[in-house]
Amino acid sequence: MRIVFGFALALLMSPAAGETLVERGAYLANSVMVCHNCHTPRGPQGLDLSRALSGGSQVFDEPAFKVTGSNITPDKDTGIGNWSDAELKRFLVSGIKPDGTKVASIMPTAFYTVLTARDLDALAAYLRSVPPVRHETPAPEYRIALRPELPTYAGKQASEQELSDKLARGRYLLTIAHCLECHTPEGPSVVHDFAGASGKGGRTFKGPWGESVSPNITPDPAAGLAQWSDDEIKRAITQGIARDGHKLKPPMAYASYASMTAQDLDAIVAFVRTLPPRN
């Protein structure tokens, strides 16, 4: 019976039957990694999907750099149309462009090191499939030498077999969704304090909504999610509603996370429960 149950669970967690690489890549890019948040321009009504992934309109102006999301459509002049699949996949996990230059850490490539070989293939296939849009984005400005950031829960490339375990799958999804990028404060060296404060919250974001501060997503009983039910955590992720009913401010991408599968949400919540409590 145990063997049968384990086999059934592995089937449940494996790639959906008949799912193409493009479909898998679209799910990852749009519902988990939320590439639109930085790489799609915004208009008065929100994301301008007629120019999807052609370069964001939000400027990330930080002490270390000033950048905007680049054009990642297959346009040959202003996008990634001239990149090979190998160059694109290397960029996703290293942040190194075909010309050898490295991008700012606002592009969370350090989190993407865990991407499975199939998911890297899927992302490349999806990005090849979107309509090319000619749109030149501003050149980045780097004010200090770029240093790699090492998230606590990133690491070596995952395998499809590992993801049959619910907690391992939750860790994988939380990592590629780069949740800890926003929910970890920056240390004194203009980098995140992943070693001492992963998930503690406290990072400030400014935008048209005013100012928002990321909350603590660890299971700390006083400051974190220990008192939240699983359904309350899922509601916050997918609807942007806190436990007490107040609406969460951007840049939390709950509208995108709303299309996550139930199994993936369950896995994320299960893994969040295992994070070290921080206060």
Q: Is residue 279 part of a domain?
A: no
Is the pLDDT score of 70 beyond 80? yes
Question: What local confidence, expressed as pLDDT, does residue 121 receive?
Answer: 99
Residues in the chain: 279
Mean pLDDT of 36-60: 88
Name the domain count of the chain.
1
pLDDT for the residue 10: 45
Residue 68 located in a structural domain: yes
Q: What is the pLDDT of residue 151?
A: 62
Banded model confidence at residue 189, pLDDT cuts 50, 70, 90: low
What's the rounded Cα separation, in Å, for the pair 247 and 250?
10
pLDDT in tens, 134-146: 999 999 998 877 7
Q: What is the per-residue pLDDT for 40?
A: 94
| 63 assigned to some structural domain | yes
Position 230 in a domain: yes
Mean pLDDT of 72-80: 98
Residue 193: inside a domain, yes or no? yes
pLDDT band of 13, cuts 50, 70, 90: very low
- What's the count of helices (H) and strands (E) in the chain, helices before strands? 11, 7
With the CA atoms of 267, 272, 274 and 277 taken in that order, what torsion angle do they form, in degrees rounded to the nearest 10? 180
Q: What is the mean pLDDT of the chain?
A: 89
Q: What is the pLDDT of residues 78-127, one digit of tens each?
A: 999 999 999 999 999 999 999 999 898 889 998 999 999 999 999 999 99
Looking at per-residue confidence, does 6 or 172 come out higher? 172
Q: What percent of the chain has pLDDT over 90?
A: 67
- Please state whether 84 falls in left (phi above 0), alpha (psi between -120 and 50) or beta: beta
256 falls within a domain: yes
pLDDT of residue 150: 58
**Percentage of the chain surpassing pLDDT 70?**
89
- Cα-Cα-Cα-Cα dihedral sign, residues 154, 155, 160, 165: negative
pLDDT digits (tens, 9 = 90+) for 227-271: 999 999 999 999 999 999 999 988 889 999 999 999 999 999 999
Question: Is 125 within 8 Å of 25 (Cβ atoms)?
Answer: yes
Which range of residues forms the domain containing residue 175? Answer: 2-272
Phi, psi angle pair for 180, to nearest 5°: -75, -15
- For residue 187, is it within any domain? yes
Most confident among 30-39, 151-160, 186-195 (mean pLDDT): 30-39
- 278 lies in a domain? no
